[in-house]
Chains A and B, each alone.
Chain A
Amino acid sequence: MSGRDATARTPGVAPSWIGWVLATTVGLSAGTSVSTYLTAPLSAMLSPVLAGMLFMLLYGAAIGLVLAGAQYFAMQRGTVVLRAWLMVSALGASAGYALAAVAGEWMGNLISPTVSVVISEGTIESVGGAIIGLVIGGAQWWCLRTVMLHRRKWMIASAIGGALGYSLAAAALELFEVPILKAHLVLSYGAIFGLFLGAAQAAVLRTSGREPNP
């Protein structure tokens, strides 16, 4: 599974779209949990560096690594080189979370708090999720470029999936306070985010990727 001998020219990406959705859901759920609990002890140490931005980069990178690891198992064997896939996903998630944090803080100061919560929080979470999805998708496309026919579709799908997933996770947990989800806050947040990101990406993989090997 090292991928060292894999050729990036192998056609097809994911043999099963539902496998991709599941992998992304599990990957983001596990990644968010790992990042939340494993990077937390580093917070105090890293917080003085770049006003917390170094911690943000680490937080995102951990999520990206776990996500990419799960997605790799849902891919057609040989589609990507594992090491490169992990690296670009980690970098993408790292940059995505950092940019989303900056955008969220900026919008939080820009949008009047007296505007409807659906508009204000919905906008902030949607834009943050779109940024994370777009940057992860963009980074992953670099590995998928030889097997992905439509870059624009992939990027747009990743952004839309990210926006939907991130904002609906916040809505389910903060507004509706669904008890079973609230009781497993971290897992649920990542799973909802991953479900929508994975579904959007899977739609593109299914319609825009080259035919998978039989």
Chain B
Amino acid sequence: MVAARRFLPALIMALGVGCADRNAEPATQNVSALVSTAVQATSPCTPGNQDRYVYRPARLRSVTPCIRAHGTIVTRTMEADGDIHLQLRLDAPDQVLLNAGSAEEGSNLVVEAICQFPPLQADAIRICATNPDPFPGPLPSVGDHVWMEGRYVVEVQHGAWTELHPLYRWGTITQQGTLK
């Protein structure tokens, strides 16, 4: 019901206070601070070719083109825009990638693998239809300990939390701590 909790403040703002999303301003102001933490946490990481197929791209403020995060998958859901939405419980060293808005996502990093199935929202359908090379999968399951690489962004439309959006690649971390 995290989503319901974030909907109510949005509704109150829309009806009673006005149209400006207060969450978004701190997000914008904090971008430079996020860049600095993100760069510190960055491993060598090459952006993929999926950025142009993100629908409504203006809602994502890019912080750094590619970053690697480590953690455990805690949820995995399908979204109407054709994305698979993952929540990644970050390992301690990577917690710097979270921001205040991340609390609305259970203090997890959101990871979006885009165009994983035909979207239901009309404006996303055409964009995904033009994507010749969506992330092929498979995607990790809940409980998997993984590393994930993607574009590090702040999602300014909803709760101004941080995301890897889109996901470029991922792999498992073995019990010995090695990467696959």
Say yes or no: is A117 at the interface (Cβ < 8 Å to chain B).
yes
Given contacts A43-B129, A100-B122, A108-B123, whether A174 and B80 have CB atoms under 8 Å apart is yes
Contact indicator per residue, chain B 125-154, by CB within 8 Å of chain A (1) or not (0)? 111111110000000000000000000000
Q: Give the bracket for the number of chain A residues in contact with chain B.
A: 35 or more
When distances are taken between beta carbons in the complex, the residues of chain A under 8 Å from B3 are: 174-177
- A119 at the A/B interface (Cβ < 8 Å)? yes
B79, A113: Cβ atoms closer than 8 Å:
no
CB neighbours of B122 from chain A (8 A): 56, 97, 100-101, 104, 128, 132
Closest to B60 in A: A113
Instruction: Determine whether the beta carbon of B24 is less than 8 Å from that of A113.
Output: yes
Within 8 Å of chain B (Cβ to Cβ): is A79?
Answer: no
Q: Enumerate chain A residues within 8 angstroms of B13, measured Cβ to Cβ.
A: 116, 118
Residues of A within 8 A of B128 (CB): 43
- Cβ 8 A contact of A97, one of B24, B58, B78, B125: B125
CB within 8 Å of A: which B1-25 residues: 1-4, 6-7, 10-11, 13-14, 19-21, 24-25
Q: How far is the CA of A40 from the CA of B129 in the complex (A)?
A: 9
Number of A-B contacts (CB under 8 A): 136
Q: Count residues of chain B with CB under 8 A from any CB of chain A.
A: 42
Q: Is A149 among interface residues, defined by CB-CB distance under 8 A?
A: no
User: Once the chains bind, are A117 and B120 in contact (CB under 8 Å)?
Assistant: no
Choose one: A51, A100, A113; the contact of B130 (CB below 8 Å).
A51
The distance from the CB of A31 to the nearest CB of chain B, in whole angstroms, is: 12
Instruction: List the B residue with the shortest CB-CB distance to A100.
Output: B122
Whether B126 lies near A115 (C-beta < 8 A) is no
Find chain B residues with CB under 8 A from A56 CB: 122, 125-126, 129
10 A-B contacts (beta carbon < 8 Å): A40-B117, A40-B118, A52-B127, A56-B125, A104-B124, A105-B55, A108-B58, A113-B24, A173-B80, A177-B1
Show the binding face of B for A, using Cβ within 8 Å: 1-4, 6-7, 10-11, 13-14, 19-21, 24-25, 28, 55-56, 58-59, 77-80, 117-118, 120-132, 156-158
Which positions in A face B, CB cutoff 8 Å?
32, 35-37, 39-40, 43-44, 46-48, 51-53, 55-56, 59, 97-98, 100-101, 103-105, 108-109, 112-121, 124-125, 128, 132, 169-171, 173-177, 182, 185-186, 189-190
Closest 8 CB pairs of A and B: A104-B123, A114-B24, A52-B129, A100-B122, A113-B59, A108-B56, A55-B129, A52-B130
